[in-house]
Amino acid sequence: MKNNTYKYLMIAIFLAPALILFIGVLIAPIIMSVFYSFFDMKSISLKGAEFIFLGNYKELFTSGSINVWRALGNAMLLAALSVFLQLPLSLGLALMLGKGIKGERGFLSIYFMPVLISTVVIGQLWRKIYNPDYGILNAVLGLLGIGDKMPLGGWLGNEASALWCVFVPTLWQYVGYHMLLMYAGVRSVSPELREAAKLDGATDGQVDWYVVIPSIKPILKVSVIFAVTGSLKSFDLIYVLTKGGPYHATEVPSTLMISMLFERNRYGMGSTIAVLMISLCFAFAILISAAFKEREYGKKHVIKK
């Protein structure tokens, strides 16, 4: 009994710092955000704020001027592109490099480099690329004889092109990050498994498809969760490139939240969008985990049978 008390005390002592940090940095701000989202705050403090309970949530989903649906739609599109374009590209690179090709380390560094560079720097770099007067994109198109293809208003100034122009660097930046995660997984696949498959006459593609990819499924799950939640809360690059414009064409929930909080001084509404983002990220993380779990369970079930 005494031993047990001592054991629990030690557990509590060792857990306490992390727990306090976790509550202070993560849980408390979430609770505060939920609390603030019930108020109509016209200024920074709660003084004079009106308690409107779910009023902000109702306005968020019905107000035409806030237009949260467009922001959510853009975030979902980015999430879909991340999963169906960015991750396959990362996987392809990881599989290619995982085979131990010549200059593997050099390629790894090059692909990973955008992750290391500050997003603001990348944003400024791409602003220069898209610049309508001296941008390299126009110069390249000019060399190809299609220099007149720039949309009216410039690449970042045209509603139709701005969203795609913002997505390209956003997706490009994290290809290396996901590639590195997957590469670590690919390298950890036992060489015996590969050799056994090869002995059975499997081609390189078949080895990757039937042996390597199923082996790195846990990593793929993590990558999908990171890609989807990262897309839902994407902010920095979009803010540097367009600040959500032109005419809200590149608005995502986080730029909308910043606009509400610090441009319109609507702290209650900003907190409401923050709560929405947190809820969506949690929901997607749980859904993706469940989707992967079901498949794993199904597989086990088949084997047992």
Partner 1 sequence: MKLKKLAATLLAAAMVVSCAACGSGSGDSGNNGGNKDTGKKVESVDLKSQKVTLDMWCIATESDSNRKSYENAIAEMKQEYPDITLNWEAFENQSYKTKIKAAMAADEVPDIFFTWSCAFLGDFVDSGKVYCLDDAYQDYKSELPEVMLANSTYNGKHYGVPLTMNIVGLFCNMDLLKEAGWNEVPTTYDDLIKCCDALKAKGIIPFGCAGGETWCVTEYLEPVIEKSIGADAMNDIFLGRASWDNAEVAKAVDTFQSMVKAGYFDPNAVSLSNDEVKANFMQGKYAFYQNGTWNCADFANDANFFPKVKVTEFPVVDSSKGKLGQLIGGPSDTLAVTAKSANAAVAAKYTFELGKRICHYGYLDGCGLPAWTPYGDTSNINGLTKAVSEICANANAYVLFGDTAMNADDAQKYLDYVAQVYGCKVDGNAFISGLKKEIR
CB of 157 to partner 1, least distance (A): 3
CB of 262 to partner 1, least distance (A): 4
CB of 45 to partner 1, least distance (A): 5
For partner 1, give the closer residue by CB, 63 or 109: 63
Task: Assign 3-class secondary structure to 209-258.
Answer: HHHHHHHCHHHHHHHHHHHHHHHHCCCHHHHHHCCCCCCCCCCCHHHHHH
For partner 1, give the closer residue by CB, 133 or 192: 133
For partner 1, give the closer residue by CB, 55 or 153: 153
Residues that bind partner 1 (CB under 8 A): 42-45, 47-48, 65, 130-133, 152-159, 162, 242-243, 245-248, 258-259, 261-267
CB of 144 to partner 1, least distance (A): 20
For partner 1, give the closer residue by CB, 37 or 90: 37
Terminal CA-CA length for the chain: 45
For partner 1, give the closer residue by CB, 168 or 285: 168
CB of 134 to partner 1, least distance (A): 10
Q: Which of 248, 267, 250 is nearest to 258 (CA)?
A: 267
Return the SS3 of 40: strand
For partner 1, give the closer residue by CB, 49 or 96: 49
Bridge partner list, 49: none
Exposure class string for 51-67: b at 16+ Cβ within 10 A, else e: ebeebbbebbeeeeebe
235 CB-near residues (< 8 Å, 6+ apart): 252, 254, 255, 258
> Measured between alpha carbons, how far is 132 from 272 in angstroms, rounded to an integer?
37
**Hey, what amino acid is at 164?**
W
CB of 154 to partner 1, least distance (A): 4
C-alpha Rg value of the chain to the nearest Å? 24
